[in-house]
Structure 1
Amino acid sequence: MESRCNNLPLKKVSYSNVERRKSLSPSAIVIGAGFAGIAAAHALKNANFQVVLLESRDRIGGRIYTDYSFGFPVDLGASWLHGVCKENPLAPLIGRLGLPLYRTSGDNSVLFDHDLESYALFDTDGHQVPQELVQKVGDVFESILKETDKLRCEHGEDMSIAQAITIVLERCPDLRQEGLAYNVLQWYLCRMEGWFAADADTISLKHWDQEVLLPGGHGLMVRGYRPVINTLAKGLDIRLAHRVTKIARGKKGVEVTSGNGETFFADAAIITVPLGVLKANSIKFEPRLPEWKEEAISSLAVGTENKIVLHFDKIFWPNVEFLGVVASTSYGCSYFLNLHKATGHPVLVYMPAGRLARDIEKMSDEAAAKFAFLQLKGILPDASEPIQYLVSHWGTDENSLGSYTYDAVGKSHELCERLRIPVDNLFFAGEAASMKYTGTVHGAFSTGLMAAEECRMRVLERYGDLDMFQPAMGEEAEAVSVPLLISRM
């Protein structure tokens, strides 16, 4: 474990008014050491707060997890920077660290985080789908989604993307596809489900495209996200294996209890645990959170997408970014990310989402890896067995209980903002609390900074010390801009 994580014997942290006056150090407890929590703690430390960060896992990063067991970095969680541009709040830090990005898409499309020409699709008999058909059906899929926008305008009630597509195809027979083309259309729907980590019959027509997309396309973090989170975590007081079970708030501050019975006191707390954990009610709030906050937590949806990473001793697949298997249902479709294009390592990543991901999570890791390999063997008969594999379990992991948030049918996108709004001296952050950038790493990072600034203002206003401390902004906000290192093979 990194030396920056404080593993010394623990003691209660309690800051009385007298001590605060002497040290001029307001205090905060940050719960969750993912990107939002690390960003918030880093910013508050820079603003002269005494900060302790409590993390339930035995590592930092949360749903960022770069694994090195193959001898090189592989991200089992988030792996893309969505918006390869200087407007991305993470760009200055990534640029300054000199971390390379591999751009997988030149535009900021919700539909395609890879350019269409980078796909090689196969039918279940192992025949490659002609590239012209892949392109043609991709254009048809975009047309179908444009037609669903008309439905959105016509109907007051929300409906699922799946239902909207069915209505469009009834109205517009010219957009219907048959045979192989129909299967390719199902593959595009499968990719859309992967973007939201959810099945099309649960994704909201009204809100699916309301997310703000930064320009510059989508960039894969070639060396993983670990160096970024490690840099932000440097010097922080992080207590690993501290699962928070209770948060009590009062006029004098907050009292946070961890599963091992330790109690921590501070002026305020920033809660950055994943939405899935909040939904499971594994943290008891005293007094209870307001009804509007509880409703936001229960109504927001969290999807599941996993990675089954297959490491081979040689390359036997075509030199494309994505391999896909087309089928008559989106559930039967598959796709593999080719990391060899981006990193030079002989690795394919199978990425199931929604119901398929949940079904695979019921298997052992060995069975899941075998399932993924059989999908591959079906399209590439000469495929050699993997020499190593890794399997993620974001849906069943008690520290995440899902991959990321998406807009479910009949639920307002405003719920993300309601999740973010503070309650007394409790502040909330994370990708689910980002109205603009839901489901992204930079969304989590931005809300962490926002929560830190709100916390700073609230605590210092209360003690009349507002002019005495620096704004809760990380040093990267003022850093000299360094261009991002972007490749495209």
Structure 2
Amino acid sequence: MEVKAQCEFENFGPDGNFTSSTKWQNSPSVVVIGGGISGLAAARALHNAGFKVTLLESRNRLGGRVHTDYSFGCPIDMGASWLHGVCNENSLAPLIRYLGLKLYRTSGDDSVLYDHDLESYALFDANGVQVPQQLVVEVGDTFKRILKQTENVRDEHDGDMSINRAISIVLERNPNLRLEGLSYQVLQWFICRMEAWFAADVDKISLKNWDQEQVLSGGHGLMVGGYYPLIKALSKNLTIRLNQRVKRIARCGNEVSLTTESGESHVADVAIITVPLGVLKANSIQFEPELPDWKRAAIADIGVGNENKIALLFDSVFWPNVEFLGVVAAAPRRCGYFLNLHKPTGHPVLVFMAAGAIAADLETLSDAAAAAFAMKILRKIFACAADPTGDGLMQVQYLVSRWGSDGDSLGCYSCDLVGKDEDVYERYRKPVDNLFFAGEAASVDHSGTVHGAFSAGIFAAEECAKFLSALPGGADGVLVARQEEVAESAVPLQISRM
């Protein structure tokens, strides 16, 4: 049986409930664990195919690591914010087109390591002096040459090592590629941006795998209005239970029994597990019987990175009209990077982004202290920068994410650490009896992305449906064509770059 992510996009009812109006009788039952985009995609597809689906989400909101915050009076994505691959081949493109959501392209096809091209930026040294753009371009070209040389190091070694170690070997062999002074600091900023791509420190990123990711064409685009409209559309008319943290999953014959932290029980024919990889790595869910060794090894072998954001709301714009601002330094963790949301959205908001160890360090601070830390870096560029104040009416002037310590995520997204096996993603998404696995870490080709999570949810739904159809008395679900199938080919992606 084929299952597709065809969705109904009417507005929610006046009561705001997610309860389906469909009456199910003698239909196979599925419990989806996790209300991120992967879980919603799986639930949506199976619901449309005629299965009885209940989605359990541990938080008091949907979206998971896709989280659009409206505290500033405008949408701010504190989790995922880019569409990686602004093209019709992206699995999310039909939904984005149908909803008429706008994208702001920040890079072209040649950007493999960064969310941005070096076309609209401003870098500064510790004294607030802008780095000449020609120097930044030259250092960027040198960094590309260094990374190209790491391919030789990879070919020479059977085992894996960190990309940081490989860079050191390249520089030992090629003194002409070594940089000093301001050029060296700019190089550290490029390494800082590389760490942000993987959400991990450069001494933990795999040499064998760092450049093996399949990146779709079209470059990278910010979701101008945030990702929440996709979450809202996918959740329409689904049976959803919030504040349901699953603590135990038991396979009992042909059924799955789940127990939540509050003591509630749910029984279904199958379960689709879409909780973040970090939650499974922490053994936050007890499996009975235990998952087989190969599955537990897959969970252990995939890395989980961490990246956090500190969003700052100001009453007016005092920075240049560029897409991002950066501070160079003598080490990657001392560099800084601010996304300028005013350029794509018109809102006076800067977002400080930190990855790897520095992201974890920020989680030890209070929100106020984290905002002060970001402002300290910002004042290296603009010494007289005022504290974030909003428009004088907003009570919240800063937002801080804590994906690493958030018990419902325990990390930002999966990444390729040193020693990763080539088939680890396939093993992670492989079902165990009537347990199916989805989430961004279950995407073989596009892990760590929103569209990868979405596709993994659809794949799990398809495999789940095949499993249920093969049971005695199983019957194929029938999909009814929706109006967006007709409209999607006629509605182009709305892309801008100012």
When normalised by structure 1's length, the TM-score is: 0.94
Residue identity in the other structure for 1:391: V
- The residue that corresponds to 1:480 in the other structure is 488
The reply on whether 1:452 has 2:461 as its aligned counterpart is: yes
Q: Which of 453, 459, 477 does residue 469 from structure 1 map onto?
A: 477
**Structure 2 residue matching 1:105: 3-state secondary structure:** coil
Residue identity in the other structure for 1:222: V
Structure 1 range deviating more: 110-119 or 346-355: 110-119
The reply on whether 1:167 has 2:176 as its aligned counterpart is: no
Q: Distance in 2 between matches of 1:170 and 1:302?
A: 31
Q: Distance in 2 between matches of 1:356 and 1:465?
A: 52
**Structure 1 residue matching 2:471: 3-state secondary structure:** helix
Q: Distance in 2 between matches of 1:422 and 1:343?
A: 42
- The residue that corresponds to 1:257 in the other structure is 259
Identity %: 62
Compute the displacement of 1:478 (Å).
7.0
Q: Distance in 2 between matches of 1:191 and 1:4?
A: 41
The reply on whether 1:377 has 2:384 as its aligned counterpart is: no
Q: 1:170 to 1:472 in 2, by over 3 A?
A: farther
After TM superposition, list the pairs within 5 Å mapping 1:167-246 onto structure 2.
Answer: 167-246=169-248
Q: Which of 133, 138, 141 does residue 139 from structure 1 map onto?
A: 141
Cα deviations by residue, 1:280-304 (Å, 9 ceiling, x for unpaired): 1010001100000001111211010
Residue identity in the other structure for 1:58: N
Q: 1:145 to 1:341 in 2, by over 3 A?
A: same
Q: 1:5 to 1:189 in 2, by over 3 A?
A: farther
Compute the displacement of 1:111 (Å).
1.6
Q: 1:108 to 1:264 in 2, by over 3 A?
A: farther
- The residue that corresponds to 1:417 in the other structure is 426
Contact kept, 8 Å, 2:257 with 2:268, in 1: the verdict is yes
Structure 1 range deviating more: 231-240 or 475-484: 475-484
**Structure 2 residue matching 1:25: 3-state secondary structure:** coil
Corresponding residue pairs, total: 475
Compute the displacement of 1:273 (Å).
0.1
Contact kept, 8 Å, 2:56 with 2:245, in 1: the verdict is yes
Segments of 5+ residues of structure 1 without an aligned counterpart are 9-18
Compute the displacement of 1:250 (Å).
2.8
Compute the displacement of 1:7 (Å).
8.2
Cα deviations by residue, 1:108-135 (Å, 9 ceiling, x for unpaired): 5222221112221000111100000011
Contact kept, 8 Å, 2:97 with 2:488, in 1: the verdict is no
Contact kept, 8 Å, 2:19 with 2:237, in 1: the verdict is no
Q: Distance in 1 between matches of 2:173 and 2:482?
A: 53
Q: Distance in 2 between matches of 1:405 and 1:478?
A: 35
The reply on whether 1:441 has 2:450 as its aligned counterpart is: yes
Q: Which of 282, 285, 288 does residue 287 from structure 2 map onto?
A: 285
Residue identity in the other structure for 1:205: L
Q: Distance in 2 between matches of 1:345 and 1:6?
A: 31
Q: Distance in 1 between matches of 2:425 and 2:211?
A: 15
**Structure 2 residue matching 1:48: 3-state secondary structure:** coil
- The residue that corresponds to 1:393 in the other structure is 402
Contact kept, 8 Å, 1:160 with 1:200, in 2: the verdict is yes
When normalised by structure 2's length, the TM-score is: 0.93
Q: Distance in 1 between matches of 2:186 and 2:422?
A: 30
Compute the displacement of 1:209 (Å).
1.3
Contact kept, 8 Å, 2:214 with 2:446, in 1: the verdict is yes
Compute the displacement of 1:50 (Å).
0.4
Compute the displacement of 1:150 (Å).
1.3
The reply on whether 1:312 has 2:314 as its aligned counterpart is: yes
Structure 1 range deviating more: 406-415 or 105-114: 105-114
Segments of 5+ residues of structure 2 without an aligned counterpart are 1-11, 390-396
Q: Distance in 2 between matches of 1:193 and 1:94?
A: 29
**Over aligned residue pairs, what C-alpha RMSD do you find?**
1.8
- The residue that corresponds to 1:432 in the other structure is 441
